[in-house]
Structure 1
Amino acid sequence: MRQLIIFILFTSLLVSCDFFKETDDRIRVARVGEKYLYEEDIKDLVAEGTPVNDSIQIISSFINRWATQQLLLAGSERNLSEQKQNDFNKLVEQYKNDLYTKAYLEALVKKSIDTSVNMTQAKEVYEANQETFKLNEELVKFRYITIPQNAINEDEIIKRFKRFNIEDKQFLDSISVQFKGYSLNDSLWIKASQITEKIAVLNSENKKELLKKSNFVQLKDSLDLYLMQIEDVLSQNDLAPLEYVKPTIKQIVINKRKLELIKQLEKDITKDAIKNKQFEVYQ
């Protein structure tokens, strides 16, 4: 009888252990030592519609890279000193902390930061940092048109392009489908290097001669006619116009606000934690 009771108790213990034992129903794909790669780890590797052979290659390469990484990791754990491993673990933990706190602070900043920068604020930054806004290369205000040589309405296009009143601009806009290239907005500052990219007949040799303030330029090559009207030019080391650098100034102002807001948020979070007795320093 006593043996029967012991048997029943032993059987119950086994059943209980088996009942509370965690089961893992995931489908295994590969194993390195005690580490497993599961089907769920590779299910999103291959885009829908990928050919079968390519899919096999992608998955096979991923499994091999995973195995190599696990083997190297196991080797490092066996061969690196305990002190070295502790140092690395601290770095990993610090990196994790930095990622989390940075993401959290950025989310808080995004909710409350003012991203508007008015002209008065922009001028203050501009005037206080003029050395920063010296030009590295020439800027030009100009308009241009590229048309095939001997176009039917070539003379009228040239006349209207040079005169360029409101009606002329509207006319040129209306026939712009005929142009091989064009820009009629001559109120924007553009880098001289961008102009040479757009207009093939301009090069380093003739650029300095042609890109002069209030200069009308008419050039030809074997196929096309190029019309340019230079409205204004700024040279290297000249002070960049405020309207040209305003996007940069806006970013400077916003970045400064971000830093100030982050410092304030950090102070407020710590202050609230002390007040709510979530943070205390023991003497």
Structure 2
Amino acid sequence: MKITYAIILLNLFLITSCEDLSNSSKNYLIARVDNNYLYLSDLDKLNLKFTSISDSIIQTQNYINTWAKKYILYDRSLQNIEEYDKNKLNDLIRQYELDLYNNSYKSSLIKAKIDTLITKKQISDYYQSNSFIFKLKEPLYKYRYIEFPKNNIDRNEITKRFISYSHQDKYFLDSLTFQFSNSFLNDSIWFSKKAVLKNVKFLNSKNLLSIKKSEIFEVEETIQVYLFKIENYLPKNEIAPLSFVENTIRNIVFNQRKLKFLKNFDQELINDAIQNKKFEIYN
């Protein structure tokens, strides 16, 4: 039996190794559990990659056995589960099926019907009317940062340019980024405390809070030098700047549109079903 099985699997490997499978080959019957059939075309959909004949035999045998166990166990469960429990399971299956179809249909409607374009003005208007809900739960920082080997021959010039930071200085530093171990020079973007601590190695929660705005740090370790400056700072409980919450507002506005659409859709769905005699409530 094992020899015959191995020959079958070897034949499968030879068939599936051919790039151009004919329809007759794809309909090759591999296995059966009662009235459930496994064809070569089912294996073909899996895009199994075989490195050798032995690998093909192992992978194919594992898949066939897994496929068979599902149906054998399902058949046994039908025979042994109490009728009451079967009915509960069937109710769950039916509810799950309804939810899958309904949610899939609603998702397609949302993509097709809801305007996803949210203008800068709409975002700004929402922010102006609801800024009180955007109180910061942690401080925000604008900063710039460079990390480089302390034996860098341009160290003094890099430090000088980092401090003065004119347009020409920024251009100069940008041209040297290949020399830096790490850097961030766009100090017009707000970052949370967590993000700053993640990006700047020498900082910890305590010393970050002690750094004052516009204070420049030069920290030297065994092999690295760190240059760091906080360009701006907003403490906890301040109102977050619009640029920091813009994406959040965009999501809020879109979700409001979605909820409004779904509410109207649900009502129209009921009204349409009543009008077309598909839905009735009996007294």
Q: TM-score normalised to the size of structure 2?
A: 0.79
1:33 and 1:274 map into 2 onto residues whose CA distance is: 45
- Whether 1:146 aligns to 2:151 is no
2:273 and 2:207 map into 1 onto residues whose CA distance is: 68
- Whether 1:253 aligns to 2:257 is no
How big is each residue's C-alpha offset from its partner over 1:86-129, in whole Å with a ceiling of 9 and x where there is no partner? 23222212211221121112112211212233345334544665
1:36-115 matches, within 5 Å, as: 36-48=37-49, 50-115=51-116
Task: Name the SS for the 1:206 alignment partner.
Answer: helix
Counterpart residue number, 2:278: 279
- Whether 1:219 aligns to 2:219 is yes
1:184 and 1:282 map into 2 onto residues whose CA distance is: 66
**Paired residues of 2:274 and 2:280 also in contact (CA < 8 A):** no
| Structure 2 residue identity aligned to 1:281 | E
Counterpart residue number, 1:231: 231
2:166 and 2:274 map into 1 onto residues whose CA distance is: 69
Instruction: State the shift of 1:151 in Å.
Output: 2.2
CA RMSD of aligned residues (A): 2.7
| Structure 2 residue identity aligned to 1:181 | N
**Paired residues of 1:201 and 1:220 also in contact (CA < 8 A):** no
How big is each residue's C-alpha offset from its partner over 1:38-74, in whole Å with a ceiling of 9 and x where there is no partner? 2222223344464443333332222222222222211
**Paired residues of 1:115 and 1:254 also in contact (CA < 8 A):** yes
Unpaired segments ≥5 residues, structure 2:
1-25
Q: Which protein shows a greater Rg?
A: 1
Task: Name the SS for the 2:226 alignment partner.
Answer: strand
Q: How many residues align?
A: 257
2:61 and 2:42 map into 1 onto residues whose CA distance is: 13
2:55 and 2:233 map into 1 onto residues whose CA distance is: 55
**Paired residues of 1:139 and 1:191 also in contact (CA < 8 A):** yes
Instruction: State the shift of 1:220 in Å.
Output: 0.9
1:280 and 1:206 map into 2 onto residues whose CA distance is: 67
| Structure 2 residue identity aligned to 1:111 | A
1:231 and 1:95 map into 2 onto residues whose CA distance is: 53
| Structure 2 residue identity aligned to 1:279 | K
Instruction: State the shift of 1:214 in Å.
Output: 1.4
Instruction: State the shift of 1:164 in Å.
Output: 1.2
Instruction: State the shift of 1:32 in Å.
Output: 2.8
**Structure 1 residues 230 and 92: alpha-carbon distance in aligned structure 2, compared to 1, 3 A threshold:** same
The more displaced of 127-136 and 243-252 is: 127-136
**Paired residues of 1:45 and 1:59 also in contact (CA < 8 A):** no
Unpaired segments ≥5 residues, structure 1:
1-24
2:193 and 2:279 map into 1 onto residues whose CA distance is: 61
Instruction: State the shift of 1:230 in Å.
Output: 0.6
Counterpart residue number, 1:8: none
